[in-house]
Structure 1
């Protein structure tokens, strides 16, 4: 029997199917991917033997592959600028797939690409002179900024349907806003506030000198 001219199943095809299910159903299962692709679910394990966990890690690898961690190493720019770049590049990566965020953060981080992202941030905090006891709290704060802004990017515009009589203060705030990109403005404010807070914790030089 002649072989089919097109490959019926591959790692990328499986990941594409998982993303389609996430976007339409907000989650995926091995059985669901098999049905979606019209294949026996057990055949998926030939390409991703770790099942659901490996698929999530493979999605992380796909999402984060364009984050330039080399530019966040010492000597490129002050640590404050590199923290901003870390937040923006990480946020840009996850904002492309907002429906996948609950799945990404719902599994322990044990894959190399994601661990490298956080190791880079931890190294910046060490360079800045932030006490080690504060690192996990800062990482959690920046995580909230990254993922919160990424989810916010998928919200409708306008976000609030207000009336002057029922929500007078919010209505006035929305009406007087001069910034068309609410999400970008909020992200910039969050980064500025976060860097200022980290600077207050730093016991080393805050000018980025190496």
Structure 2
């Protein structure tokens, strides 16, 4: 006798299917019923692995941030921030529909908390005060989330007539769509490098009274 489909379920399989569903249909499309349809099981079968839809979303979030690289802090806080920001953006760039999950915060998501702890620890070891370390982490996150959720270059129409006459400084904007990937990448690099440079003139330990 063939094993029932529910026996093939696992937490990882459900989580991976949820991420695929989010990638293909968007975050609002995810429900336990829809996820069960994708997996070919009844919704009740999912609850033996995840108590709630929120638990599934937490698992997806943990998966997304698990490979974000925080090892750069071993080579100093500047390198740490640069490596962290780049890998963070890459993780979200691969799954843009899931960006709202990351934007919603750490909550009790274990991998997310581990990432936050590694970043905060790296900044504290470099001499930044707890408050300033939090602010720096937040600034990088804002940059990453913004880059992942609102790509700049792709927002322009590729019809030159949109810009001629009325917008004389944007007459080359119709070309941006073709270069969207490069422009968005380079814009992010400019932003994160400028942020890090802006922090450099202030000695880390000068902020300990904050």
Q: Who is 2:38 aligned against?
A: 36
Q: Cα–Cα, structure 1 residues 104 and 203, in superposed 2: closer, same or farther, change >3 Å?
A: closer
Q: Equivalent residue for 1:184?
A: 185
Which residues of 2 match residues 18-167 of structure 1 at below 5 A? 18-23=18-23, 24-27=25-28, 28-49=30-51, 51-69=52-70, 71-74=71-74, 77-106=75-104, 108-152=106-150, 158-161=154-157, 162-167=162-167
* Equivalence for 2:12: 12
Q: 1:90-148: per-residue Cα shift (whole Å, max 9, x none)?
A: 11112111101113323552122111111121122223333322233222211111122
Deviating beyond 6 angstroms after TM superposition, the runs of 4 or more aligned structure 1 residues are 173-176
What is the aligned residue count?
A: 197
C-alpha displacement at 1:21, in angstroms? Answer: 3.1
TM-score normalised to structure 2 length: 0.78
Partners of 1:158 and 1:46 in 2: CA distance = 42
Indicate if the aligned counterparts of 1:152 and 1:183 stay in contact, CA closer than 8 A. Answer: no
Please list every run of 5 or more consecutive structure 1 residues that lacks an aligned counterpart in the other structure.
206-210
CA distance in 2, matches of 1:196, 1:113: 29
- Uncovered stretches (5+) of structure 2, i.e. residues with no partner: none
**TM score, norm. by length of structure 1:** 0.78
Relative to its length, the structure with more helix (as a share) is 2
